[in-house]
């Protein structure tokens, strides 16, 4: 399952907001330095979807605010 994420690093709180079935806004307190924000987003998405973080893969957008993730089985 692929889905699109708009990342908001350096936010006030950690949260996942569902826009529609395929689009999410993820806010994280982590800064976008050395992939820390991406790792935090993966962890938050894992909690949201109730899957282990290692099953979530960043496909596109490692250095952008618009990202594409995939849940692998």
Instruction: Supply the CATH number for residue 27's domain.
Output: 3.30.1200.10
H or E segment to which residue 58 belongs: strand 56-60
Number of independent structural domains in the chain: 1
Of 19, 18, 24, nearest to 4 by C-alpha is 24
pLDDT tens digit sequence for 20-65: 999 999 999 999 999 999 999 999 999 999 999 999 999 999 999 9
H or E segment to which residue 23 belongs: strand 23-27
Confidence of residue 73 (pLDDT cuts 50, 70, 90): confident
| Contacts (Cβ under 8 Å, ≥6 apart) of 57 | 69, 70, 71, 72
- Segments forming the whole domain that contains residue 31: 2-71
pLDDT value at residue 39: 97
pLDDT value at residue 15: 97
Q: Is the pTM of this model over 0.75?
A: yes
């Amino acid at each position: 399952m692929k889905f699109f994420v708009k990342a908001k690093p350096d936010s006030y709180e950690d949260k996942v907001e569902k826009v529609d079935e395929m689009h999410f806004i993820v806010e994280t307190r982590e800064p976008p330095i050395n992939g820390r924000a991406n790792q935090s987003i993966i962890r938050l998405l894992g909690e949201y979807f109730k899957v282990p973080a290692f099953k979530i893969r960043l496909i596109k957008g490692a250095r952008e605010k618009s990202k594409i993730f995939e849940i692998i089985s």
